[in-house]
């Protein structure tokens, strides 16, 4: 039955012999003129297509098309169709005869064929053969053959390899997010072995800082923050998830398992604490706990965010465009959005006022055996007090509970007990409900307007879920995402890594592999990398090494005039790209240059110096207790991230706001960035420390000290012109009465503000 619309359909149990000629001559013209304008496979108004037998029986967003009322076809109801005109009695009789005969149709119209399903990204990747090239000696690995083929076709030559110092600084900033120290640089420059660079790359990949660098980029995707968001924006405990990400990347946990544990670690057999912690991926959603809210509204918003994030991060699809209506371009219907929604709709939530004070919802307590023992004892006492209160309330009739002295006293006692909660580390996790929630299509995206019931499923344009033997779960979805037959996940992942190394992905629209997305610049290379990634056991380290050791990556970033004319955007990669460092890496590079950096890995977030008043915009003013000791000099990755008032030194350098998933950071250039590097308390402190290193570690003359400063900040010596200008600045500072420490601090502020300092060449 199409509720309130054209067809009230009851196919007879004993179907008459199909008469395709009758359909084509009599039925098809009626449907084509009166129905298909709005209800076809191309125009799925209200999710309904009357073009195929399968789609008619499936029905639309308001419910199934096959109903229970005899009489076959009637044009009735408040939304009777087609609008504005009435079918003749003869037309209704024809449709009724067709329906009663079992809706015979040509074979081509029995099953639905989704327009757009033949899009290149929805086809499984196949490993192409590496192409033949004229200058094969240039290639270091198969990646280069695909790059060189396009260059030779365009009449271009690749750029020369960058010098060794530039290569080491580039690889350090890309692989571990840190520039080399002068000692590391000197060791590399003196290594004359033919595989010296490969050895350096292997050292970087084995460093614990590798997990920090690439973990920070994964946290962008996970929309990680240390607060809930919305106007209250209270602090949240989830840094253990961040630790899990760093550890998993450092251990090179196969990417398929990396995905499964984050999407559904709680549903694995006998999940370990680490696998439960991993599910924090979808607990990074902003949460609203303001007084008077509709808990269901914000629960639904959280689930929708998880659908959108899953689509962007793993599939490179804009699934959110199908939340309110069928996707305008990609073969994803609104029904399919809510089928996907149904996978993620069964998680335990703070979804009513009474749950606000539930300390385990949705937290996992962590700690030593003694800490957990004390915590669970406290929890049992709290439960006993609440049971006692509920029993007492049951003995008081009606509204008398509100003013009853016994209730008031017991409430105070319970609140006091809550405040005595033992100090214990907790982390947000996902927990599946014992019984799944009913999921519906939300008509117009409005959670209060429930349409047809849906069960978990994936878009029909993609491969089906493997047989599950029952209602599919989040674990089934997770395994489907990394199934070798899924055409998107491996492509999307290798493209995102490529984007970080070259500035743009092979597919420039890294978050949209759909029909409106850009076509790949090197489609064969993309598929080769995707298959290689899977066949190497989903090893991210192996993929990183493959890219970083390629000749394409090692090229100089200097612009070639002939390439600029042919390929102004460098899509063919006749050179490497110059890239402004990410926000956290600007801080990290300054910490390395100054010698202040603490390389402790993991742990709670820290509080580096914050400009006065920077966090006063939050609804509830919170103290920023500036960290002292080594915590003051932790990497930018660990800076406490308040969604409503993030640290200015991060936001000014384009760190994402963590409200939604971020698949690519923008790169801006603004005066505020320069002012931050010059005047921010932390950067002034870095400049003072850098000055101290130049004065202490170099020979007692100004040129030697300046040369050491260049090695610390830029991994190279100064040119004669640079040396002359900066020594002139130093002289001017002294002439103004500045002591040596102050004069060299002024010079250090210049070094830390250079474009070259904050740029990966």
Mean pLDDT of 211-234: 96
Strand partners, 529: none
| Rg of the chain over all Cα atoms, to the nearest angstrom | 31
| Residues 692-750 pLDDT 10s | 999 999 988 999 999 999 999 999 999 999 999 999 999 999 999 999 999 999 999 99
pLDDT for residue 234 is more than 50: yes
| Residue of 509, 486, 522, 496 lying closest to 130 (CA atoms) | 522
pLDDT reported for residue 357: 66
Residue found under tokens 């200097």: 558
Mean pLDDT of 562-587: 96
pLDDT for residue 75 is more than 90: no
| Residues 286-316 pLDDT 10s | 999 888 889 999 999 999 999 999 999 999 9
pLDDT reported for residue 390: 85
Q: How far is CA 654 from CA 173, 448, 525, 581, in A?
A: 17, 37, 30, 10
What the block records as the tokens of 87 is 């079918």
Mean pLDDT of 546-572: 95
pLDDT reported for residue 3: 37
48-62, 504-518, 551-565, range with the lowest pLDDT: 48-62
Query: 282 with 344: CB under 8 angstroms?
Result: yes
The C-alpha atoms of residue 280 and residue 150 are separated, in whole angstroms, by 42
pLDDT reported for residue 678: 94
Strand partners, 364: 427
Strand partners, 428: 363
Q: How far is CA 673 from CA 586, 608, 670, 684, 753, in A?
A: 11, 18, 6, 14, 9
- Number of Cβ within a 10 Å radius of residue 655: 21
pLDDT for residue 757 is more than 50: yes
| Residues 400-455 pLDDT 10s | 667 788 888 888 989 899 889 898 999 999 999 999 999 999 999 999 999 999 99
Collect all residues with Cβ–Cβ distance below 8 Å to 678 and sequence separation of at least 6: 684, 749, 753
pLDDT reported for residue 8: 37
- Number of Cβ within a 10 Å radius of residue 563: 21
pLDDT reported for residue 6: 40
The C-alpha atoms of residue 320 and residue 301 are separated, in whole angstroms, by 11
Between 266 and 406, residue with greater pLDDT:
266
pLDDT for residue 16 is more than 60: no
pLDDT reported for residue 27: 83
Mean pLDDT of 14-25: 61
pLDDT reported for residue 745: 98
pLDDT reported for residue 53: 80
Q: What is the pTM of this model?
A: 0.88
pLDDT for residue 679 is more than 80: yes
Query: Long-range contacts of range 150-156, CB-CB < 8 Å, 24 or more positions apart?
Result: 150/521, 150/522, 150/572, 151/572, 151/573, 151/574, 154/566, 154/567, 154/572, 155/566, 156/560, 156/562, 156/563, 156/566, 156/567, 156/572, 156/574
Between 673 and 24, residue with greater pLDDT:
673
Exposed, middle or buried: residue 354 (CB in 10 Å: 0-12, 13-18, 19+)? exposed
What the block records as the tokens of 363 is 């937290």
pLDDT reported for residue 400: 62
pLDDT reported for residue 100: 80
What mean pLDDT value characterizes the chain? 91
Strand partners, 606: 639
Beta strands in 287-428 (DSSP E): 363-366, 425-428
The C-alpha atoms of residue 101 and residue 575 are separated, in whole angstroms, by 67
pLDDT bracket for residue 65 (50, 70, 90): low
| Residues 578-592 pLDDT 10s | 999 999 999 999 999
Identify how many contiguous H helices and E strands the chain contains and give both numbers.
29, 6
pLDDT bracket for residue 11 (50, 70, 90): very low
DSSP output for 652-674: TTT---SSS--SS------HHHH
Collect all residues with Cβ–Cβ distance below 8 Å to 593 and sequence separation of at least 6: 179, 686, 690, 712, 713, 751, 752, 757
pLDDT reported for residue 356: 66
What the block records as the tokens of 427 is 């982390």
Secondary structure class of 388 (helix, strand, coil) = helix
Mean pLDDT of 85-112: 79
Mean pLDDT of 191-204: 98
pLDDT bracket for residue 172 (50, 70, 90): very high
| Residue of 100, 85, 90, 105 lying closest to 23 (CA atoms) | 105
What the block records as the tokens of 546 is 């493959």
pLDDT for residue 217 is more than 80: yes
8-12, 28-32, 628-632, range with the lowest pLDDT: 8-12
Where do the structural domains in the chain lie, given as residue ranges? 20-109, 237-315+322-352+433-481, 368-423
Collect all residues with Cβ–Cβ distance below 8 Å to 408 and sequence separation of at least 6: none
26-30, 137-141, 202-206, 451-455, range with the lowest pLDDT: 26-30
pLDDT reported for residue 354: 66
What the block records as the tokens of 430 is 């996902």
pLDDT reported for residue 13: 31
pLDDT reported for residue 657: 96
């Amino acid at each position: 039955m199409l509720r309130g619309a054209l067809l009230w359909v009851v196919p007879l149990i004993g179907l008459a012999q199909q008469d395709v000629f009758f359909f084509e001559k009599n039925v098809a013209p009626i449907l084509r003129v009166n129905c298909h304008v709005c209800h076809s496979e191309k125009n799925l108004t209200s999710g309904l297509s009357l073009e195929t037998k399968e789609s008619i029986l499936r029905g639309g967003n308001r419910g199934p098309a096959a109903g229970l009322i005899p009489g076959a076809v009637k044009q009735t109801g408040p939304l009777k169709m087609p609008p504005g005109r009435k079918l003749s009695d003869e037309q209704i009789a024809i449709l009724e005869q067709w329906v009663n005969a079992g809706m015979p149709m040509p074979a081509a119209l029995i099953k639905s064929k989704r327009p757009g399903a033949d899009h290149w990204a929805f086809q499984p990747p196949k490993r192409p053969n590496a192409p033949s090239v004229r200058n094969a000696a240039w290639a270091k690995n198969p990646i280069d053959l695909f790059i060189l083929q396009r260059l030779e076709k365009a009449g271009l030559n690749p750029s020369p390899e960058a010098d060794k110092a530039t290569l080491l600084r580039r690889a350090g900033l890309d692989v571990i997010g840190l520039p080399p120290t002068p000692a590391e640089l000197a060791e590399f420059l003196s290594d004359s072995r033919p595989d010296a660079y490969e050895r350096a790359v292997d050292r970087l990949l084995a460093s614990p800082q590798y997990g920090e660098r690439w973990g920070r980029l994964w946290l962008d995707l996970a929309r990680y923050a240390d607060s809930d968001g919305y106007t209250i924006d209270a602090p949240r405990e989830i840094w253990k998830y961040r630790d899990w990400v760093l550890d998993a990347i450092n251990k090179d946990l196969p990417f398929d398992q990396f995905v499964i544990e984050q999407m559904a670690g709680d549903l694995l057999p006998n999940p370990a604490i680490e696998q439960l912690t991993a599910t924090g991926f979808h607990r990074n959603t902003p949460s609203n706990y303001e007084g008077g809210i509709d808990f269901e509204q914000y629960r639904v918003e959280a689930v929708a965010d998880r659908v959108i994030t899953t689509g962007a991060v793993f599939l490179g699809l804009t699934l959110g465009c199908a939340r309110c209506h069928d996707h305008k371009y990609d073969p994803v219907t609104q029904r399919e959005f809510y089928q996907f929604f149904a996978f993620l709709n069964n998680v335990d939530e703070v979804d009513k006022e009474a749950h606000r004070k539930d300390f385990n919802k949705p937290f996992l307590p962590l700690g030593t055996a003694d800490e957990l023992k004390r915590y669970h004892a406290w929890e049992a006492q709290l439960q006993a007090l609440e049971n006692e209160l509920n029993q007492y309330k049951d003995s008081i009739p009606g509204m008398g509970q509100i003013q009853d002295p016994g209730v008031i006293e017991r409430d105070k006692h319970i609140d006091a007990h809550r405040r005595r909660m033992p100090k214990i580390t907790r982390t947000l996790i996902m927990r599946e409900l014992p019984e799944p929630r009913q999921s519906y299509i939300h008509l117009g995206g409005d959670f209060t307007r429930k349409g047809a019931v849906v069960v978990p499923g994936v878009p029909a344009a993609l491969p089906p879920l493997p047989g599950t033997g029952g209602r599919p779960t989040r674990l089934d979805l997770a395994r489907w995402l990394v199934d070798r037959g899924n055409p998107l996940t491996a492509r999307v992942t290798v493209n995102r890594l490529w984007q970080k190394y070259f500035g743009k992905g092979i597919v420039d629209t890294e978050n949209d592999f759909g029909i409106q997305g850009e076509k790949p610049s090197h489609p064969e290379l993309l598929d080769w990398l995707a298959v290689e990634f899977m066949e190497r056991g989903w090893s991210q380290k192996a993929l990183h090494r493959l890219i970083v050791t390629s000749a394409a990556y090692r090229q100089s970033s200097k612009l070639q005039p002939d390439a600029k004319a042919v390929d102004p955007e460098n899509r063919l990669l006749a050179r490497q790209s110059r890239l402004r460092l990410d926000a956290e890496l600007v801080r990290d590079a300054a910490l390395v240059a100054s010698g202040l950096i603490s390389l402790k890995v993991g742990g709670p977030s820290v509080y580096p110096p914050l400009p006065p008043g920077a966090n006063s915009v939050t609804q509830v003013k919170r103290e920023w207790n500036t960290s002292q000791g080594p915590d003051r000099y932790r990497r930018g990755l660990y800076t406490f991230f308040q969604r409503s008032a993030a640290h200015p030194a991060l936001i000014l350098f384009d760190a994402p706001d963590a409200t939604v998933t971020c698949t690519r950071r923008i790169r801006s250039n603004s005066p505020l960035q320069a002012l931050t590097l010059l005047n921010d308390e932390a950067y002034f402190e870095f400049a003072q420390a850098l000055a101290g290193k130049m004065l202490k570690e170099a020979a007692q003359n100004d040129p030697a000290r300046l040369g050491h400063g260049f090695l610390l900040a830029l991994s190279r010596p100064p040119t004669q012109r640079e040396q002359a200008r900066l020594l002139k600045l130093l002289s001017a500072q002294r002439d103004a009465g500045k002591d040596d420490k102050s004069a060299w601090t002024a010079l250090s502020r210049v070094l830390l503000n250079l474009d070259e300092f904050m740029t990966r060449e």
